[in-house]
Amino acid sequence: MNIFYGKAALIDFLKSIKTTHSTIGFVPTMGALHQGHLALMQKSLYENEHTVVSIFVNPTQFNNPEDLAKYPRTLEEDVKKLTALSPKIILYAPTVEDIYDGQPVSQSFDFDGLENQMEGKFRPGHFNGVGTIVKRLFEIVEPTNAYFGEKDFQQLQIVKKMVAKNNLKVNVVGCPIYREPNNLAMSSRNERLSDHERETAAIIFQTLKIAKEKFKSKSATSVSEWVQKSFEKNPMLILEYFVIADEATLLPCLRKNKNKKCRAFIAIVVNNIRLIDTISLN
Ligand code: PAF
């Protein structure tokens, strides 16, 4: 497997292998790779001639220094997983200096309000950091297709908006959520959970599934109140937010409308570890 730690060598290599018709698939990650990441890569390997994977824990998207310090960093293990998946994968694992050419600072973006909902409210500056790194990586890799998991649905919509507003020539592909055997959405942060916390966190998706059923006959407000009450009974899982929102605008779905796609979004904190999940309600 080809591994690059600096952008100059990666750009040269990509120039040398690209032909007029070849496609480049790209899977940006922050490492601590799990089956959900590997599924994105499998899709990219199947749909493109070349697949680039990046592993970079991007400091500018962390609003909480403790979260950044504790984010799992497992490059050696990740390289083994990538090699086993396919020797064709091209890995870019840059340093902060290589990406930011100096101090890591975010650019300021206008995502037409998508950035002000849910994660944006609870993680100030997070989406400016995501926009900055994803744009930078797209400029370096120049992918044809880029793959993102739907667990971070708000991030997916924001990346699509950033691509449209900057006229970038990349097709952004959203991919289904991968779940652990107990249905907890796969996330690199799950590595920080104890066995007991991981088992208890199964309640998150169970709640989303019941909320989906309830939403067939009840209003968004009444479903939200029910979710709030359910988590009050379980002090181990602190509910940060539960929102039923329009998939396109991410604004709360106050009224049901058959032309509108609604989705439930949830964020839970377990022992200072933030977990998010989402489910389509249509
Ligand atoms: O979803 C992630 O892992 C990160 O937000 C991303 C897209 C790799 C940007 O750092």
The answer on pLDDT for 258 being more than 90 is no
Does any domain span residue 258?
Answer: yes
Binding residue numbers for beta-alanine: 61
> Which of 154, 175, 196 finishes a domain?
175
Q: Which residues of 167-191 are buried (b: 16+ CB within 10 A; e: fewer)?
A: ebebebbebebbbbeebbbbbbbbe
Q: Name the pLDDT band for 259 (thresholds 50, 70, 90).
A: confident
- Atom 6, ligand 1: residue with shortest CA distance: 29
Does any domain span residue 152?
Answer: yes
The 10s digit of each residue's pLDDT in 83-103 is 999 999 999 999 999 999 889
User: Could you tell me if 70 and 208 lie in one domain?
Assistant: no
Query: At which residue do the structure tokens 């899982």 appear?
Result: 237
Give the ligand 1 atom nearest the CA of 54. Answer: 8
User: Could you tell me if 228 and 171 lie in one domain?
Assistant: no
Q: Among 26, 27, 125, 115, which Cα is nearest to 68's?
A: 125
User: Could you tell me if 217 and 112 lie in one domain?
Assistant: no
Q: Name the pLDDT band for 124 (thresholds 50, 70, 90).
A: very high
Q: Is the CB–ligand 1 distance for residue 36 below 6 Å?
A: no
User: Could you tell me if 148 and 196 lie in one domain?
Assistant: no
> Which of 114, 149, 175 finishes a domain?
175
User: Could you tell me if 45 and 161 lie in one domain?
Assistant: yes
Does any domain span residue 26?
Answer: yes
The answer on pLDDT for 60 being more than 90 is yes
Query: pTM value?
Result: 0.96
Q: CB count, 10 Å around CB of 225?
A: 13
User: Could you tell me if 156 and 213 lie in one domain?
Assistant: no
- Average pLDDT score over residue span 56-62: 98
- Average pLDDT score over residue span 42-55: 98
For ligand 1, the distance from its centroid to the CA atom of residue 12, given in whole angstroms, is 24
Give the ligand 1 atom nearest the CA of 152. Answer: 1
**Residue 101: which domain range?**
2-175
Q: Is the CB–ligand 1 distance for residue 29 below 6 Å?
A: yes
Does any domain span residue 36?
Answer: yes
Between the two ends of the chain, the Cα-to-Cα distance in Å is 42
Structure tokens, 93: 């694992």
Tell me the one-letter amino acid at 4: F
**DSSP string over 72-88:** ---HHHHHHHHHHH-TT
The answer on pLDDT for 240 being more than 90 is yes
User: Could you tell me if 163 and 196 lie in one domain?
Assistant: no
> What is the per-residue pLDDT for 97?
96
Distance CA 152, CA 265 (A): 10
Q: Is the CB–ligand 1 distance for residue 185 below 6 Å?
A: no
User: Could you tell me if 122 and 210 lie in one domain?
Assistant: no
> What is the per-residue pLDDT for 110?
97
User: Could you tell me if 169 and 194 lie in one domain?
Assistant: no
Q: Is the CB–ligand 1 distance for residue 133 below 6 Å?
A: yes
Judged on CB neighbours under 10 Å (0-12, 13-18, 19+), 118 is buried
Question: CATH number, domain at 197?
Answer: 3.30.1300.10
User: Could you tell me if 215 and 259 lie in one domain?
Assistant: yes
Does any domain span residue 27?
Answer: yes
Confirm if 52 and 147 have CB atoms less than 8 A apart: no
**DSSP string over 170-189:** -EEEEEPPPB-TT-PBP-GG
Q: Name the pLDDT band for 14 (thresholds 50, 70, 90).
A: very high
- Please, what is the angle between helix 153-165 and helix 126-141, to 10°? 60
Does any domain span residue 180?
Answer: no
Structure tokens, 6: 């600096």
Does any domain span residue 181?
Answer: no
Report the share of the chain in percent with pLDDT over 90: 95
Q: Is the CB–ligand 1 distance for residue 60 below 6 Å?
A: no
In the chain, how many domains are there? 2
Binding residue numbers: 30-37, 61, 149-152, 155, 186-189
> What is the per-residue pLDDT for 111?
98
Ligand 1 site-directed mutation target among 155, 163, 278, most atoms within 8 Å of CB: 155
User: Could you tell me if 140 and 201 lie in one domain?
Assistant: no
DSSP state of 87: T
Give the ligand 1 atom nearest the CA of 57. Answer: 10
Strand 262-270 and strand 238-246: the pairing is: antiparallel
Question: CATH number, domain at 29?
Answer: 3.40.50.620
For ligand 1, the distance from its centroid to the CA atom of residue 106, given in whole angstroms, is 14
Q: Among 85, 17, 27, which Cα is nearest to 56's?
A: 27
User: Could you tell me if 14 and 103 lie in one domain?
Assistant: yes
